[in-house]
Amino acid sequence: MAKSDKNTLSGLVVSQAMRHQVIQLLKETSIANSINALIKYKVNALLTTDQSGKPAGVLSKTDIMGAYYAGLPIESPIEDIMSKPPLFCHPEDALDKALRIMHSQGVYRLYVVDSENKNVVGALAYPDIVGLLYKYCHDCEYSHIRQKNKSMPDSIQRFFVKEIMTSEVKSVLEDASLLQVMEELSAYRFGAILVKNRENNPCGVISKTDLALAYKHEVDSGAQAATIMSSPVQSCSADELLEDAIRKMIFSDVHRLFVYQSQPMALVGVISLSDAARIRSGSCHACVSSRIKLETE
Amino acid sequence: MKLTARDIMTTKFHTLAPQTPLNEAVKLFKQASKEEGRKIFGMMVTDHEDHLVGMISMYDILLVLRPKHTHIWGLMEDIDVAGIVDISCEKTKSVLVGDIMTPEVITITSQSHVLMILDIMIKKHVRRLPVLENGKIIGIVYISDLFYNILDRFAD
């Protein structure tokens, strides 16, 4: 591999980033009960199996949203709405390869099966990869968080939020119906959408989790966005370091931050944990160009 | 030795409704513990007709409050734990008991043998089992009651 192709994830394998706890449900489980598992274990998707424990499909919050949109009875079995077949990788696969599969297949999660007897031994999801990156960054001697406490001049070129963010902010008005919200979310493949009030100021966010809860609570899909949105809007400045933004997302348990330029009411972009994973490096150019100092068993 | 669920079950129990918000549920856990004179770690969830629809434990509530990336914190020297818990509680405000309860519940009858109860608790990793008769809840067996019933002879 050419030196310039290296990044923080080079040399790492799936087993170092995967989660060992795999949330799985029988495909006959009702949508209502599957929402409980998604909420309780804080996962965006779960594995569905048949009676013999064999993987049958994947149920994501996006599938749940589709069912809510279509007005499906919440007692329907999840096999009616799950995506199949599930996609797999192996514990010894390079993390880079797994990320490429995710990218080409348009998914955010792969299930990990051992090569010998094909048992599901873990799940590899985008946010976990970011978690791993953050860990390395934090331990790195060039870490901005470490350097804060020293008087060393900072000569490392760092990533800023504005370099990584998506500079388009889709939003709906607070009196839009949940049906409209779901249409916007599925058209743009976002996990969440900004809600603005009549004065055109951001006032909340609706995520797929909020929609799954609304479905479960039997909120009419014609209800206004304002009734289920979460507020306040979690945001950061475009001039903030990527490292600090990731830290903020990890600690406030959100998947994305809205980005402002000059003043907090004027949002100019979105940065998500997935964007951070996409650049496949920690948060500064130190990893990319020169140093690959990771222990790889 | 007492033989069946009827002999060891508690008939004084509290229940929660699926519509109860989690913060309210936490208060009710405390209240139930006080009134029953024992620490309550899990409760039955019933609908408006008193039918059992699920079980919820402290563990379920802790699962929801735990931020997703807890495993990274071990590395942090400068985290504000209180702040993180506040954020978590705020984010969990719209979650109700019915959203995180275990909806498929294993139940026993008053005739269930204590050794069968022991077997279920071990195999299914549960610490409390509702006792039903004709679809109606008549009591609950806690693992501690089972423990002392079987093992008091050990201590004597």
Same domain membership, residue A183 and residue A245:
yes
Predicted-assembly ipTM surpassing the 0.90 threshold = no
Mutate to test the interface with A, among B99, B104, B105 (most CBs of A within 10 A): B99
Q: What is the pLDDT of residue A70?
A: 97
Nearest to A253 among B75, B87, B103 (CB): B87
Asked whether residue A249 is domain-assigned, the answer is: yes
| pLDDT band of A279, cuts 50, 70, 90 | low
- Using CA of residue B16, residue A32, residue B69, residue B93, what is the dihedral sign? negative
Whether residue A190 is found in the same domain as residue A103? no
The answer to whether position A236 is within a domain reads yes
Asked whether residue A291 carries a pLDDT value surpassing 70, the answer given is: no
Structural domain that includes position B128: 5-155
d(CA B134, CA A186): 46
Residue A228 near chain B (CB below 8 Å): yes
What is the spatial distance between Cα A22 and Cα A98, in angstroms, rounded to a whole number?
A: 17
Q: From the list A131, A216, A230, which residue is nearest B69 (CB)? A: A131
Q: CATH code at B98?
A: 3.10.580.10
Residue A119 covered by a domain: yes
Q: How far is B126 from chain A (nearest CA, A)?
A: 17
Q: Give the integer Cα–Cα distance in Å for A209 and A35.
A: 9
- Full residue range of the structural domain in which residue A237 is found: 161-278
Q: C-alpha distances in angstroms, B127 versus A107, A117, B15, B123?
A: 38, 33, 16, 11
- Here the CATH number for the domain that contains residue A84 is 3.10.580.10
Question: Is A18 a member of any domain?
Answer: yes
Residue A227 lies in a domain: yes
More confident residue, A21 or A117: A21
Instruction: Say if residue A65 is in the same domain as residue A169.
Output: no
Residue A243 has pLDDT above 60, yes or no: yes
Residue type, A36: N
- Whether A147 is covered by a domain: the verdict is no
Where is average pLDDT lowest: A213-227, B73-87, B96-110?
B73-87
Contacts A233 to B, Cβ<8 Å: none
Domains: count for chain B: 1
User: What percentage of chain A carries pLDDT values higher than 70?
Assistant: 82
Residue A136 resides in a domain:
no
Name the residue of chain B whose CA is nearest to A35's CA: B99
Provide the number of structural domains found in chain A: 2
Specify the amino acid at residue A167: S
Phi, psi of A94 (to 5 degrees): -65, 140
CA distance B149 to chain A (A): 34
Residues A107 and A208 in one domain: no
- Closest alpha carbon to B93 in B22, B17, B19: B22
